[in-house]
């Protein structure tokens, strides 16, 4: 088995190193990750300049581009053969609810999914790596299960781990995405030249954390596994939009 691993925190992130170590023995592992942190990069591809590909002393390959760049380059020219699984993470912080739209971690997995390969994004919900070993333990369980019992359809899974030791995690739940409140206000500051600049504010708190959501599972000490899809078509609005646009279709 061949596993392609990427992330959005950068090739020297602790979450990536611990994840790769936890996957040893499951097959051939190739790491292609960003040179620097690209949190919040979403699914962006770098089209305005060429990308450099280098190799670190530990064997990890790194690219001076986004998470999507890394997987895209790996899939379209860097690898000698297609991987059986694409893994992204372990991210330093949650990717739940609306976070998935911005997440570079999810984007790296989504790029593998676009190439028709089963893909999984892993995130530890609290920053600081306090219980990264617990997250890596459960990540291996999920990856090993996928390799031994492949999902019989194309899949993109978004997995979040509660920041708890192994013996306090209650299990694994299949969930839907919850929803956050709007982001908190921007944070203004000044440059040495007196120009006002802004930091993007923190993410909002959970607005939909009902039973069955990723927020609810994490709150109760469970690993959250959410299947995602990339078809953004609002199916329920197709007929109403068709009626709305009808009067001008012949103009």
Annotated binding residues for a divalent metal cation, as ranges?
A: 8-9, 39, 91
SS3 assignment, position 20: helix
Binding residue ranges: 8-9, 39, 91
- Would you say 160 and 100 are in contact if contact means Cβ atoms under 8 Å apart? no
Long-range CB pairs of 193-202, under 8 A, 24+ apart, other chains included = 200/40
Query: How far apart, in Å, do the first and last CA atoms of the chain sit?
Result: 56
151: closest CA among 201, 123, 116, 177? 116
For residue 221, what are its two tokens?
Answer: 């000490």
DSSP H helical ranges for 172-230 = 214-219
């Amino acid at each position: 088995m061949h596993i392609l691993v990427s992330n959005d925190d950068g090739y020297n992130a602790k979450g990536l190193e611990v994840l790769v170590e936890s996957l040893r023995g499951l097959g051939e592992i190739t790491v292609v990750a960003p040179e620097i942190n690209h949190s919040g990069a979403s699914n962006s591809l770098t089209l305005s300049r060429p990308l450099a590909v280098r190799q670190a002393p530990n064997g990890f390959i790194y690219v001076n581009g986004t998470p999507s760049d890394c997987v895209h380059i790996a899939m379209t020219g860097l690898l000698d053969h297609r991987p059986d699984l694409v893994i992204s993470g372990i991210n330093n912080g949650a990717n739940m609810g609306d976070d998935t739209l911005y997440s570079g971690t999810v984007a790296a997995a989504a790029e593998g999914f676009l190439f028709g390969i089963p893909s999984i994004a892993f995130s530890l919900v609290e920053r600081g790596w306090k219980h990264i070993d617990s997250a890596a333990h459960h990540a291996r369980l999920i990856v090993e299960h996928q390799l031994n019992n492949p999902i019989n359809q194309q899949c993109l899974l978004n997995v979040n781990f509660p920041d708890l030791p192994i013996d306090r995690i209650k299990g694994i739940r299949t969930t839907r995405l919850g929803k956050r409140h709007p982001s908190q206000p921007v944070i203004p500051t000044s440059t040495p030249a007196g120009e006002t600049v802004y930091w993007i504010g923190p993410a909002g708190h959970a607005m939909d954390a009902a039973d069955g959501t990723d927020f609810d599972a994490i709150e109760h000490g469970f690993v959250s596994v959410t299947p995602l899809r990339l078809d953004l078509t609002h199916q329920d609005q197709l007929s109403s939009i068709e009626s709305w646009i009808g009067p001008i279709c012949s103009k």
